[in-house]
Amino acid sequence: MKKQILAGAAIILSAALTACNGNKAQTEETETQQTETVAADLFSADSAYAYVQRQVDFGPRIPGTDAHKACGDWLAATLRSYGATVLEQRAEVKAYTGEMLPMRNIIASYNPEASQRILLMAHWDTRPFSDEDPNSAMHTKTFDGADDGGSGVGVLLEIARTLGQRDSIGIGVDLVLFDTEDYGTSGNDESWCLGSQYWSKNPLPAGYKATAGILLDMVGSKGATFYWEYFSKRYAPGILSEVWQLAAEMGYGSYYIQADGGALTDDHLPVIRNLGIPCINIVNYSPKNKHGFGDYWHTQNDNMDNIDKATLDAVGETLLRYLDMRATASVQ
């Protein structure tokens, strides 16, 4: 994953959660809290971790390689096994090198008839070279992409498993795994996020709309910090506020930092611009770091040693709680 860090003025985060009804009986409050806790605890960090490991075991998921094809087949089959309606979008997209890359976006839908839909996204490809490695001799070498690509997909697969076990979801949920995100070059924003650019201009299903979108990118490393990303704050302040507040209430405030981060070119941006869906980006970023990302970013060190089950849990449980909250609101 490459994020082009842009300059931009901070925007005041304005949307706030609606206060709970203070007149509810204590027993009702207790029952609600217990229900929410059970729903959140359905997320298994062990399972999410295993999904990340499985992707890494295929090898670097570089478009056009055998590992890429095998992993894509496994992703689609796994989502189908969890009861999702799965569509695959295949095309050729042009890299900044002029090379034509085989692109494969994978779309998994739950409750496809529902009009209110939540979009969850991650990219599943890996960068073909580790050009940020401190050892210049490694710059042409591939790397595992455990966090950058693998972690977001691992969390979404575990979300899919839990949704597949539910009798009713209440809203529509779509998981989109974007391809060819990480094949770009510095200084050319359009060279990144080729899969999401293509899907947002040619949505599948046709005419796709969603109430909210959440992108996961690099959400598995130890000590990850998720700051308010600029475009998330600009185009979806209400969603950003809801998710960060939920995380704080669940005890994950050390991950979800309520402060401004960077303006990042990532898969949420084409979806915002081309489909008008308000989206946020949950991404490991810190303005204190040299380039904003972890030291392992686009290096040989992006491997399973960085993946932490506690971080995966903080992301997955927060997402499930958010889905439950939106489902509850849809019937009120």
Q: What is the pLDDT of residues 143-178, one digit of tens each?
A: 999 999 999 999 999 999 999 999 889 999 999 999
**Predicted local distance difference test score (pLDDT) of residue 2:** 52
Q: Which of 219, 224, 248, 240 is nearest to 157 (CA)?
A: 219
pLDDT at 1 over 90: no
Q: How confident is the model at residue 20 (pLDDT cuts 50, 70, 90)?
A: very low
* Residue reference for tokens 């490393």: 221
Residues 6+ apart with CB under 8 A from 237: 11, 13, 14, 15
DSSP 185: B
282 or 4, greater pLDDT: 282
pTM: 0.89
pLDDT at 26 over 60: no
pLDDT at 22 over 80: no
CB burial readout 62-88, b (16+ within 10 A) else e: bbebebbeebbeebbebbeebebebbb
pLDDT at 41 over 90: no
Q: What are phi and psi of 319, to 5 degrees?
A: -65, -45
Q: Which of 236, 118, 105 is nearest to 181 (CA)?
A: 105
**Lowest mean pLDDT: which of 32-46, 110-124, 161-175, 309-323?**
32-46
Q: Are strands 100-110 and 172-178 parallel, antiparallel or unpaired?
A: antiparallel
C-beta separation of 168 from 73 below 8 A: no
**Predicted local distance difference test score (pLDDT) of residue 28:** 39
Task: Report the pLDDT averaged over residues 20-33.
Answer: 38
Q: What is the pLDDT of residues 107-119, one digit of tens each?
A: 999 999 999 999 9
Q: How confident is the model at residue 70 (pLDDT cuts 50, 70, 90)?
A: very high
C-beta separation of 8 from 229 below 8 A: no
pLDDT at 53 over 70: yes
Instruction: Please state, in angstroms and rounded to a whole number, the distance separating the CA atoms of residues 200 and 319.
Output: 22
Residues 6+ apart with CB under 8 A from 166: none
Neighbours of 305 (CB within 10 A): 12
Which ranges constitute the DSSP H helices of 202-299? 230-235, 237-249, 268-275
Q: How confident is the model at residue 199 (pLDDT cuts 50, 70, 90)?
A: very high
